[in-house]
């Protein structure tokens, strides 16, 4: 069982593992591996704490439903699975500023948190606009050969590559 304590596996082993996991989730749960809708339902649930039941009537929340569902539990599971893997390989670190960011922009945690917050807003907004994220479109949708997912996945990378170059080549 030594492989469980290795810090890194081959990306191909990981990818094939995720591919097989997608067979099982289709077969057993009739659900594709997807994450981003859970963040929207979490957002609606938080809104409900402040504004009460009328939040349920917002058209988008009626569409997705504000419940802790299968996909919600998938996201919770990802946190736990990653934690287990990191602990087993002694790869768990509390970290405010990633090293690639620190090398370009310094180690100030406040700057990094603000930038991460802005990036998160774009991700949350863009994922809902596109109807999925890197897992729902990028893996589960493309593997079904969905046209919407191939267009989305290509757009994710075009937007991502251009922005990463802007940040790290032009600004840094």
Partner 1 sequence: MQTSKSIDKQTQISVAKKGISPLLWGLTFGIVFGFLLQKGGATKYDVIVGQLLLNDFTVLKIMLSAVVTGMLGIYAMKSLGWVQLNPKSGSAGMNIIGGLIFGVGFAVLGYCPGTIAGAIGNGALDALVGGLVGIIIGSGLFAALYPRLSRGILMKGDFGDLTLPRLFKVNDWVIVIPAAILIIIVLYWLERAGL
Restricted to residues 40-99, the positions that interact with partner 1 (CB under 8 A) are 40, 42-44, 46-47, 58-61, 68-86, 89, 91-99
> Is 106 or 118 the residue whose CB approaches partner 1 more closely?
118
- Contacting residue, 19, 65, 106, 107, with partner 1 by CB under 8 A: 19
> Is 29 or 106 the residue whose CB approaches partner 1 more closely?
29
Task: Tell the smallest beta-carbon distance from residue 84 to partner 1 (Å).
Answer: 6
- Could you give the CA distance from residue 25 to residue 73 in angstroms, rounded to a whole number? 13
Q: Among residues 165, 167, 158, which one has the least CA distance to residue 111? A: 167
Q: How far apart are the first and last CA of the chain?
A: 43
Total residues in contact with partner 1, by rule CB under 8 A: 129
What angle do helix axes 147-165 and 109-130 make, rounded to 10 degrees?
160
- Could you give the CA distance from residue 25 to residue 15 in angstroms, rounded to a whole number? 15
> Is 52 or 129 the residue whose CB approaches partner 1 more closely?
129
Task: Tell the smallest beta-carbon distance from residue 6 to partner 1 (Å).
Answer: 7
- Contacting residue, 56, 65, 107, 144, with partner 1 by CB under 8 A: 144
- Could you give the CA distance from residue 87 to residue 83 in angstroms, rounded to a whole number? 6
Task: Tell the smallest beta-carbon distance from residue 106 to partner 1 (Å).
Answer: 14
Site for partner 1 in 92-131 (CB under 8 A): 92-101, 109, 112-131
> Is 78 or 106 the residue whose CB approaches partner 1 more closely?
78
Kindly state whether residue 25 participates in binding partner 1, applying the rule CB under 8 A: yes
Task: Tell the smallest beta-carbon distance from residue 172 to partner 1 (Å).
Answer: 11
- Could you give the CA distance from residue 150 to residue 152 in angstroms, rounded to a whole number? 5
3-state secondary structure of 91: coil
- Could you give the CA distance from residue 47 to residue 58 in angstroms, rounded to a whole number? 11
């Amino acid at each position: 069982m030594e492989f469980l304590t290795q810090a890194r596996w081959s990306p191909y082993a990981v990818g094939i593992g995720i591919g097989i996991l997608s067979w099982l989730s289709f077969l057993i749960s009739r659900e594709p591996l997807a994450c981003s809708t859970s963040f929207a339902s979490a957002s609606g649930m938080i809104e409900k704490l402040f504004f009460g039941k009328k939040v349920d009537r917002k058209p988008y929340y009626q569409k997705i439903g504000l419940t802790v569902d299968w996909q919600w539990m998938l996201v919770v599971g990802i946190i736990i699975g990653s934690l287990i893997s990191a602990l087993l390989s002694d790869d768990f670190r509390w970290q405010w500023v990633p090293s690639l960011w620190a090398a370009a922009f310094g180690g100030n945690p406040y700057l990094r948190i603000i930038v991460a917050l802005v990036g998160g807003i774009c991700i949350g907004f863009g994922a809902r606009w596109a109807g999925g994220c890197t897992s729902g479109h990028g893996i589960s949708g493309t593997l079904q050969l969905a046209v919407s997912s191939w267009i989305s996945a290509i757009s994710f990378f075009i937007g991502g590559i251009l922005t990463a170059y802007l940040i790290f080549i032009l600004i840094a």
